[in-house]
Structure 1
Amino acid sequence: MTTAPRFLRALPADIRDRLMTLAQEVSFSQDARIFEEGGPATGFWVIRSGAVTLDLRLADRRAATVATLGPGDLLGWSWLFPPYEWDFGAEALSPVRAYAFDGAQVRALCEEDPALGVVLMRTVAEILAHRLQTARTRLLELSPYSSP
């Protein structure tokens, strides 16, 4: 791997190398549903190429796009926290290539090596905080109660 995606670059080299031993290369065709809000969250992906939209069902049951992810971005964090269900849905906006990781394997690696777990969780938490703020702002923009 010549240039590590942003998520992977944020990790120290030794932790990135250990994590990558669990990676599987996968691809999704354009318009493929990657996961559904409320479905079982069993893993995560690091996008290598392409774009993925995150969406959330609104009160009228229509899906609203809350974020668009691209190369280097982490896709999925719900695999970290019980009850391991997706908080958003995800769909390939274009053909996507990604590294896939099994959540149970990564959680086991974190249990086996707590120092690795702390670094990985801190990195995911920083991404999560930013992602939630972005989603909140987007949902406020979509709200019928927001001022023009």
Structure 2
Amino acid sequence: MTSATTITTALEPVHRERLMRLAREISFDAGARLFEEGHRADRFWIVRTGTVALDLHVPGRRPAVVETLGHGELVGWSWHFPPHVWHLGAEAMSPVRAWEFDAEEVLAMCAADAEFGRAIAVWVGRVVAQRLHSSRVRLLDLYAPYGSGSLA
């Protein structure tokens, strides 16, 4: 993930501080599932310590890891877009400490304050774009005849 999408650099301090007022500290043991693909997306997390793998359900096989997230990164963006259903699954690869956010609370704050809402939307949009790019590169590595090469 690029620094432009981590919480410490993606949001202006005033918006970051406002968002962090809603944070709840939580921890996950290694191997814990944070969410499952296709289930209701009603919360999200920012990783404090540890590693979270995003994965994709593959029938008859183990889930395929598409990206690994660490300190300062957003885990989950599906809460921001209707129909609010997870597009991927997520698993703690190591013990994880994170800040957890209730999506309805954050969305209500976004609706009440257009400037805050725009800042959150731009941040989440950057995360989605970065994850799409990462998934594309991973697919090219796996299936293209010459790997991903340079995407100049």
TM-score by length of 2: 0.87
CA distance in 2, matches of 1:113, 1:107: 10
Q: Does 2:139 match 1:119?
A: no
| Alpha carbons 2:7, 2:16 under 8 Å: kept | no
Shift of 1:61: 4.8
1:104 and 2:80 correspond:
no
Cα deviation per residue 1:56-75 (whole Å; 9 max; x = unaligned)?
Answer: 12355541100000011100
> Is residue 66 of structure 1 aligned with residue 66 of structure 2?
yes
Are residue 94 (structure 1) and residue 102 (structure 2) matched?
Answer: no
Matched, 1:23 2:17: no
Deviation at 1:120, TM superposition (A): 1.1
Q: Distance in 1 between matches of 2:79 and 2:118?
A: 16
Q: Which runs of 5+ in 2 are unaligned?
A: 147-152
Residue range with higher mean Cα deviation, 43-52 or 122-131: 122-131
Corresponding pairs, count: 142
Distance 2:52 2:58 in 1: 19
Residue 120 of structure 2 aligns to a residue in which SS? Answer: helix
> Which residue of the partner structure matches residue 53 of structure 1?
53
Which whole-Å CA distance do the structure 2 matches of 1:147 and 1:9 have between them? 37
User: RMSD between aligned alpha carbons?
Assistant: 1.6
Distance 1:142 1:38 in 2: 24
Deviation at 1:29, TM superposition (A): 0.2
Question: What corresponds to 2:42 in structure 1?
Answer: 42
Contact 2:26 2:100 in 1 (8 A): yes
Q: Once the 2 structures are TM-superposed, how far is the Cα of residue 21 of structure 1 from its aligned partner?
A: 1.1
Residue 147 of structure 1 is matched in structure 2 by 145
Question: 2:104, 2:28 → 1: CA distance?
Answer: 22
After superposition, what is the alpha-carbon deviation per residue over 1:49-98, rounded to whole angstroms, capped at 9, x for unaligned?
A: 00000001235554110000001110000001111110000000000000
How far residue 43 of structure 1 moved from its aligned partner, in angstroms, is 1.0
